[in-house]
Structure 1
C-alpha cells in the first residue's frame, strides 16, 4: 500500500495541493496508520534527545513534527464534511479514535512533558520574541489541559473520555446530516406554491425531476429550499409542516435521535473538565478565550438581552398588529414569523429578497469580493483549472499579492448536495508556517447557496451574499497569515476573536462604493439602483432586536449546557432543559416536538462549545473596528494596511486584545454595535 498511497508521497501537484482524484477511500486508514507510526518516531526522538531541553530542540521540534499526519487528517475530515458518503462516515468512526488516542499519547508522554516543562520554567533566561513566547505558553498549557499532570489512572480515564467524546460528536453530526437529507416535501398542486418566487419554484421543479417526479415540486430542509418556502408560501399549514420538520431534526425517538448523544457529550465534557481541576466545561474552555470566565460571558449576554428585549417585544407586537390589519384571523406562531416579517418589510421599505436577487448573480458577487480584497490588501485571484479539486462544482484559484508573489490557493464550493453538511464554513487543507521558506496556505470556503436553475444562473439572496462575505473574511485571515508557526498562524486564534475578520467584512456590503463594484442586473447589466442601496441600509436594522435575541438565546443555552455542576449534570429531559435556558428570550410559546439542541452542530459537533457567545462578542469588535474605516474611508490604504498587519497576518501570535489595541489604539466599546443595531438608548 505504501508505495502507491498518495497520502504517503510528496504531492506533485500545482502548489502541492492534495491530489484528490488519486486518493481512494482505501488509502485513508492505512495511510493514517503509517503516518501515526512516522510521527510516533519523531516524537520519540524529541523525548529521548540527550541534549539539554531548549526552545529549538523541544518546542519548535514538537511544533514541526507530524506534518504528514496533519495533512492527511485535514484532507480526510474536510472531505467528510464537504463530500461524504456512508463509507467515508464508517471510516471516520474508525480513524477518529486512532487520532484521538495518538493525540493523548503525545500529551501524556512524561518524558516529553518533562522537557517542555524545563523550557517553560526557564523561559526568563531565554531570548524569545513574542511569537516564541506564545508558542511556548500554548505548548505547555496544551499538555496541562490534556492531562499531562494527571496520575497514571487519571490519564487513562482522560484518554477514554476524549475518545468517547470524539465518537459521540461524529455520531451527532451524522444524525443531523441524515435527518436533513432524509426529509422531502413533495408538492403536486400548483395552488400550494402561491406566493413563492419564480426562482424557488424552478429550483423545486428541477429537484423533483432529478428524483423522478417530473411535473411536481420538491422542497427540502437545505437552506436554499427551506428559507424561501418559509418566507413566501401562503399555505400556512404547509409552512407549519415544514417548520416542524426542520425544528424536529434528530428529535423523533428513532435511529437518528440525538437526545441521548447530547446528554452523553455534555456529561463527558463535564467529567473531563472535573478531571483537569475545573468546575465545569465552560471554565475549562474560557481559560483560553478573551472572555476568560463564564460569569463574564453571562453578564455580557444578559447586558445585551436587557438592551434588546424591549425592542424585540415591540417588533413582535408590531407584526401581530400587521397580521390583524391584513385581516388574517390567526395567532402569530413561529412558522408565521418569516412570512409576515418579509411581507411587512416589503411594505415598509418596498424591499424584499426577490427584488435584490437579479443584482446578485453568484459569479459577479465572487468577482466583487475579489475586487474588495484587491482594493484593501492588493490581492489578485486567478482561476486555475490545473489545480485538482474534489468535486466538479469546486473552483480553484491561485492568489497573488501586488508584487506577483504567490500567497495562497483558494477553493470555493458553493452549492448544496447530499454529501455536504448544511451551513457554511471556511477551512484549510494546509496552514502557513516558515522554515527557511515561507510555506503558503491552501484555504477553502464551503457554502450551500441557491444553485442555478434550468432558466436562471445562481442568483443569491442578500443574506447569501452576506454569508459569502463572512466566510471570505475567514478565508482572508487564513490566506494572509504570516507567522513562523502553523499552530499560531491564520485562524488559529482565541475562538471569540476568530469571528472578527469574517464579521467585519460583512459591513462593506452595506456600502454603495462596494456594491457598485459588482451588483448589476444579470440580464441588463444595469448597476443596482441607488434607491435600492438606500433601502438596504434603511432596512438593515429591521427586526435586528429579534435576531439579537435569537443569538443571545443560543448563547445562553450553550452556556447552560456547559456550566452544569455535579448536582445537575444528569439532565432528564433535553427539550425541557433547553426551554428553561432560553426562557427569558422567548417571545413565542414552545412548540412540542421541536428542539434546537439535538441539531445544534455548532456546539455539539463543531468548535463552539461554551463559545457560541463569540458571534455577539465579535460583533462588538467588528462594529468598533469598522468605525475606523467609516471615518477614514472604505478602502483607505493606511487603515487596511494596519488591519492586515496587526490583525489578519498575525494569527494567534499574541494575545488578541494586544493586537486589537495596536490596530484601534484602544479597547473596543459596545457603542458602535448598539448604534449600528439601532439599540442605543
Structure 2
C-alpha cells in the first residue's frame, strides 16, 4: 500500500520555487489565451457565431477545461505556499501575478465564442438531456458564471468590469498581508509577575515565542548577539499568534496584561496599529476596506444587481438578503435568553476575582474558572488526554467505522520506496483507501502554528478528482488540511484542547467532502460547485463525533499513562458542550449580520460607515459591550480577503443542515454503517453535481428542520416562534 499512485500527480516542493511557479502560471495563461484567440478567429470569420454541433461544442469546452488544469495546479501551489510559508519572494511573485490572473479570468468569463459553445450545448435539448447529471450541472453553472462575469455587457463596460476585478484581487491580497504582518510584528516581553496563572503548556509556548523573538531581533539588527546572550533563559514573550494569545487570555491572572493583549489583537491593521511592513508602509486596512466595498458595489451595478449582497446570494441556497437577515435575527432571538444567562454566570464569578465591571478580556479567563468550578473541568487538565497522534488515529478509526475508508500514513523517514515531498518538516501525507483497498486520493496535514503562516484553519481542495478521456488523463483528489495548533514542545507530542480537536474534525469533514467524491467532472467534483452556504455541512457535521462518548473514547489517551479520559472528566466535558453557547452564537450572528449589511448597503460605505454599521449590529445583537477602540473588522479576512463576502452567514445556515443531518444518526445509532453509507452516497460522493437542497433531501427524506439546531445549541427552552420554525422549510433557499 505504500507505493504512490501516479494519478495523484504529487508536487515536488523542492523544485516548486516562486520563480518556477511564476513561469508555469504564465505559460499556462499564454497557452489558454492562444486557444481562445484561435476560437475567436474561427468565430470572426462567420460573424457572431460559429455553426458547430453540440457534440463539437462540448469537445471544445472540455479541451479548454483541460488546458486550465495546468494553471489551476501551478497557481494553486503558489497560493498555498503564500499561505503556509510566506516570505518576501513568494509574496512578491504571488502579488505580481494577481493582475494577470484577474485579466485572464475576466477574459474567459466574457469570451463570447466560448460562451456561445455552452449555449449551443444547452440549446440542443436532446443532446443536453443525454449528458450525465454532473456534466449537465457543470454546463448550467458555467453559464451562470458567464453572466456574473459580464459576458452580456457592452465592450466599454466589460473593460470597466475587468479593471474592477483586477483591483479587487490586489486589494484583497494587501488586506491579508496587513493582517499577517500586524499579527507577526507584535511582541511583548513579560516579567515574572505577569506569568502568574499561566499553565505549563502556556509557558512553553511563550518561551518558544521568546526564541523566535530573539532570532528575529538578531536577524534585523535590533539586538546584538551579546544583548541576546544577556537575556534570561527561558525568555517569555507574548505574541498575537492564536495559541499564545489564547493561552494568555484564558489563564493569565494579570488583568492588565489580558487587556493589553486584547487591545493589540482587536486593533490589528487599524488606525491604532503603529506597525509597518518591510517597506515602511502602514498596515492600516481602513482605506482598503472602503475601496473594496466601493468596487464590489460597482461590480454589482455593472451586472444589474441592487447591491453586492445580491450578487453573492445569486450563487447560494438562500434566496434574498431579507431571508438571510430574518434567519439571523430570528436565531439571535432564540439565543438571547441563553446568552443573557451565560453573561450572568460570568458576572457572578467576576466579583470573586476582584472584577467589578466585566470586560471582553475577562470572558475567556472567567469562563475557564467557571468550567473548573461548576463543571470540575479545565482545558489544561484534559489537554494531556488529547495528544495529536491519538486524536488522528481515533479520527481515522471513526471514519473507517462510518464509511469503510482507511487512511494510510506515508512515512517521512525514507523507509518507503517513494518518500513524499513536503513544504515543511511538520507536514505529513496520507493516502486514502476504500474498504476493498480501492485507492481514493491523498491528503496533507500541516497542523502547527509558525512564523510566516496565515492564522486559522482551512482545507485547500488543491486537486479535484478529474478525468479527460481524450488524452487518457486521470487525477485523483488531493487536499491540504491546515491548522495552527500548539506545536510539540519539551519532547512531548502536540497536546490539543478540545476546541482544537473540534477544529481538526471540522477540517477533516471538508477533506472527506473533497476526497470521497465519485464525480470526475472537475467543476462539480468534491467541494467544487457546492453552494457556499452548504459547503460547511460536511465539516460541521463531522464535529459531532468529537462530542460523543464513543467518539471521545477513540480519540483520547493520556500522553503519559495511556489512560482513557476518566468518566468524571468525560461527563464534565459533555456537560460543558453548550457552556456559553448563547454568547458564542450571538457572536457569530454579529459577524454574519455585519457582513450582510455592509454589502447590502448602497451607496458603498466608507470606513466610518463600516464602523457605524458594526456598532449598530452590536447594539442589536450583543449582550456584552465592546470597547470603542475594537476594530475587529480590520482583521476580518473571511470577508475582505476570502470568499465569504456577504456569505459569512453560511456557517449558521449550514449548521442547521448539519444538526438536522446528524439527528438521523442520533435516531439510527451514531456509528450505524447503513446511515453512514447513505450520507456518503447522497452528500459526500456527489459533490456539486446536484443542488445542495436536493442532496440534503435525498439523505434526510424531507426538508431541513431547525429543531435539531436549537436542541444541539441548548436553546430548546427558548420560545420556538412560528417564524423561527418556518425556517425549517425556507432555510434551504
TM range (shorter): over 0.9
Which deviates the most, 460-469 or 307-316?
Answer: 307-316
Query: Any idea what the Cα deviations from partners look like across 1:472-512, whole Å, max 9, x if unmatched?
Result: 10011111111131111111110011101000010001112
Alignment correspondent of 2:194:
192
Q: Deviations over 1:450-479 (max 9, x none)?
A: 111125321110000000000010011111
| 1:121-140 correspondence runs (5 A) | 121-123=123-125, 126=128, 127-140=130-143
Is 1:346 aligned with 2:349?
no
Output the CA distance in 2 between the equivalents of 1:452 and 1:120.
55
- Indicate conservation of the 8 Å contact 1:519/1:527, yes or no: yes
Alignment of 1:33-182 (within 5 A): 33-45=26-38, 48=42, 52-54=52-54, 56-123=58-125, 126=128, 127-182=130-185
Q: Is the 8 A contact 1:361 1:460 kept in 2?
A: yes
CA contact 1:46–1:57 (8 Å) conserved in 2: no
Match of 2:360 in 1: 334
Rounded to whole Å, the distance in 2 between the matches of 1:247 and 1:21 is 37
Structure 1 stretches of at least 4 aligned residues deviating more than 6 Å after TM superposition? 11-14
Q: Aligned partners of 1:329 and 1:34: how far apart in 2? A: 62
Partner of 2:463: 430
**Secondary structure at 2:407's aligned position in 1?**
strand
For 2:551 and 2:37, the matched residues in 1 are separated by: 54
Is 2:263 aligned against 1:244?
yes
State the partner residue of 2:22. Answer: 29
Q: Could you tell me how far 1:133 is from its partner in structure 2?
A: 2.2
Q: Which residue of 1 aligns with 2:721?
A: none
Offset of residue 574 of structure 1: 3.6
The answer for the alignment partner of 1:635 in structure 2 is: 671
Q: State the Cα RMSD in Å.
A: 1.8
Q: For residue 5 of structure 1, what is the aligned residue in structure 2?
A: none
Aligned to 1:205: 207
TM-score by length of 1: 0.95
Three-state SS of the structure 2 residue aligned to 1:211 is: helix
The CA deviation at 1:204 is 1.2
User: Secondary structure of the equivalent of 2:283?
Assistant: coil
Map Cα deviations across residues 105-140 of structure 1 (whole Å, 9 max, x no partner): 111122222222232333365323322221111111
**Partner Cα separation in structure 2 for residue 168 and residue 85 of structure 1:** 19
Shift of 1:363: 1.0
1:51–1:401 CA distance, 2 compared to 1 (3 A) = farther
Structure 2 CA distance, aligned partners of 1:53 and 1:37? 27
C-alpha change, 1:26 and 1:523, in structure 2 (3 Å) is same
Native 8 Å contact 2:557 2:565 kept in 1: yes
2:583 is matched with which residue? 546
Residue equivalent to 1:281: 308
Match of 1:561 in 2: 598
Offset, 1:587: 2.3
Give the match for residue 310 of structure 1.
337
Q: Which residue of 2 aligns with 1:301?
A: 328
1:318 deviates by 2.4
Confirm or deny that 1:418 pairs with 2:411.
Answer: no
Residue aligned with 1:516, SS: helix
Aligned counterparts, 1:221-260, within 5 A: 221-252=240-271, 254=274, 255-260=282-287
Asked whether 1:362 is paired with 2:388, we answer yes
Using the TM superposition, give the Cα deviation of residue 210 of structure 1 relative to its aligned residue in structure 2, in angstroms.
4.0
Q: Is the 8 A contact 1:290 1:496 kept in 2?
A: yes
2:404 aligned partner: 378
1:463 matches 2:499: yes
Task: Name 1:481's counterpart in structure 2.
Answer: 517
Distance 1:329 1:21 in 2: 54
Moved more, 597-606 or 437-446: 437-446
Deviation at 1:341?
1.3
Stretch moving more, 233-242 or 20-29: 20-29
* Contact 1:43 1:65 (C-alpha < 8 Å) held by counterparts: no
Distance 1:12 1:136 in 2: 30
Paired residues of 2:29 and 2:71 also in contact (CA < 8 A): yes
> Kindly tell me: are residues 15 and 439 of structure 1, through their superposed partners in 2, closer, same or farther at Cα, counting changes over 3 Å?
closer
Residues 54 and 124 of structure 2 are in contact (CA less than 8 Å); yes or no, is this contact kept in structure 1?
no
Is contact 2:66–2:468 with CA below 8 Å preserved after alignment?
no
For residues 53 and 156 of structure 2, what CA distance do their matches in structure 1 show? 27
Conserved? CA contact 1:251–1:594, under 8 Å: no
Is the contact made by 1:423 and 1:448 (CA closer than 8 Å) also made in structure 2?
Answer: yes
> Which range moves more in the overlay, 380-389 or 540-549?
380-389
Q: Which residue of 2 aligns with 1:594?
A: 630
Matched-pair contact (CA < 8 Å) for 1:13–1:19:
no
Using the TM superposition, give the Cα deviation of residue 405 of structure 1 relative to its aligned residue in structure 2, in angstroms.
1.9
SS of the residue corresponding to residue 319 of structure 1 reads: helix
**Normalised TM-score (structure 2):** 0.88
1:15 equivalent in alignment to 2:1: no
Distance 1:181 1:544 in 2: 30
| Structure 1 residue corresponding to 2:539, chosen from 502, 517, 522 | 502
**In structure 2, distance between residues paired with 1:341 and 1:53:** 66
C-alpha separation in 2, matches of 1:162 and 1:552: 29
Deviations 1:153-191 (A, max 9, x none): 0000000000000000000000000011111121122x2
Query: Structure 2 CA distance, aligned partners of 1:61 and 1:510?
Result: 47
**Does the CA contact (< 8 Å) of 1:46 and 1:58 recur in 2?**
no
Q: Distance in 2 between matches of 1:265 and 1:432?
A: 34
- Distance, in Å, in 2 between the alignment partners of 1:571 and 1:320 is 34
Which digits, 9 at most, give the CA deviation of each residue in 1:16-47, with x for residues without a partner?
Answer: 21111012222122221111111123334555
Q: Is the 8 A contact 2:309 2:646 kept in 1?
A: yes
- Do the aligned residues in 2 keep the contact of 1:416 with 1:449 (CA within 8 Å)? yes
Native 8 Å contact 1:147 1:276 kept in 2: yes
Cα deviation per residue 1:549-595 (whole Å; 9 max; x = unaligned)?
Answer: 000000001001110113x5445354233212332112233313221
Larger displacement relative to structure 2 (625-634 or 232-241): 625-634
The CA deviation at 1:12 is 11
In the TM superposition, residue 410 of structure 1 has moved relative to its aligned partner by: 0.9
The whole-number CA distance in structure 1 between the counterparts of 2:5 and 2:102 is 29
Q: How many residues align?
A: 668
Offset, 1:417: 1.2
* 2:32–2:64 CA contact under 8 A, matched in 1: no
**Deviations along 1:242-280, whole A, 9 cap, x unmatched?**
100110010136500001111011111111011000001
* d(CA) in 1 for partners of 2:353, 2:599: 45
SS in 2 for 1:22: coil
Q: Does 1:611 pair with 2:647?
A: yes
My pick for the range that moved more, 583-592 or 599-608, is: 583-592
Structure 2: tracts of 5 or more residues without a match: 44-49, 215-230, 275-281, 413-418, 719-733
Mark the CA change 1:527 to 1:329 in structure 2 (over 3 Å): closer, same or farther: closer
In structure 1, runs of 5+ residues without a counterpart are 1-10
